[in-house]
Amino acid sequence: MVDAKTVKVFAHRGGREWAPENTMAAFRQALDLRVDGIELDVQRCSTGELVVFHDEDLSRTTNGVGLVADVSFDELRRLDAGSWFDKEFKGEKVPTLEEVLNLVDGKCILNIEVKNAPVSYEGIEDDLLALIEAYPHPETLIISSFDHYVLRNLAQRAPQYQLAVLADAVLIDLPAYAATFGARYFHPCFDSCRPDVVEQCHQAGIGVNPWTVNGRKSWSRALKMQVDGIVTDDPEDLMVFLGRAVAVTV
């Protein structure tokens, strides 16, 4: 039985309501709030570093242009990833996954979403495994991707990691499908998350963490559905809604 006390709160991209998404500023605030988990997106720049960034294109959330895949790490680091959100965050940088791993350091669950479409980062699974190999809290990692080949490759190379099937659909026989790569979680778009889907997953021992669930009505619906975790842009208000934090901002 999941309730307001036990449902896990995940800060989507670190919490998009309060800070520029996928930045250290957002992740620090999420940790200060003591969220149960942080979701972030990973891509690869031209010099091979795994960086935390949502879009394949730089223009929405930085002052740069072009593809993440085409810029070097030095070029990427010169970009401002904060001003587009608020001038208060001017100078915020695009973090590396390594920096976020060092910051989080097991303080909460880290859901690493591997972006591999529309840009395909060949061998990104190996880069990720090489990086998280030294992470001292592997049991707190959940790796997800819309590219299920990535999940399958990870499962074949390193079955010790928890995987989540990421999808925007009601899948046929999800438990059987998830079992093909030993996935322990299903991360559905909230629009395709239904009580029978949650029930089916739970019967197979699969946890369900839908995204992106914003606002009281949706949070109530998610709780009623008995989801295990709620991935939200607004973790602060969700914590207040659940009776687990006092509002920090007015």
Backbone angles phi and psi of 189, in degrees to 5: -60, 140
Q: Choose the one of ligand G3P, Mg ion, none that binds residue 211, judging by a C-beta under 5 to 8 angstroms depending on kind.
A: ligand G3P
Kindly list the residues in this chain that would bind ligand G3P in the complex (CB under 6 A). 12, 39, 41, 54, 113, 144, 166, 187, 211, 231
Q: Choose the one of ligand G3P, Mg ion, none that binds residue 148, judging by a C-beta under 5 to 8 angstroms depending on kind.
A: none
Q: Is 31 in contact with 103 (CB distance < 8 Å)?
A: yes
Q: How far apart are CA 143 and CA 165, in angstroms?
A: 9
Q: Which of residues 22-81 bind Mg ion (CB under 5 A)?
A: 41
Q: For this structure, is 54 an active site residue?
A: yes
Radius of gyration of the chain (CA): 17
Among 21, 36, 92, 113, binds Mg ion (CB under 5 A): 113
Q: For this structure, is 12 an active site residue?
A: yes
Q: How far apart are CA 187 and CA 175, in angstroms?
A: 13
Near Mg ion by CB under 5 A, which window of 69-77, 108-116, 181-189, 240-248? 108-116
Q: How far apart are CA 229 and CA 210, in angstroms?
A: 7
In this complex, which beta carbon is closest to ligand G3P, that of residue 7 or of residue 87?
Answer: 7
Q: How far apart are CA 193 and CA 147, in angstroms?
A: 19
Binding site for Mg ion (CB under 5 A): 41, 113
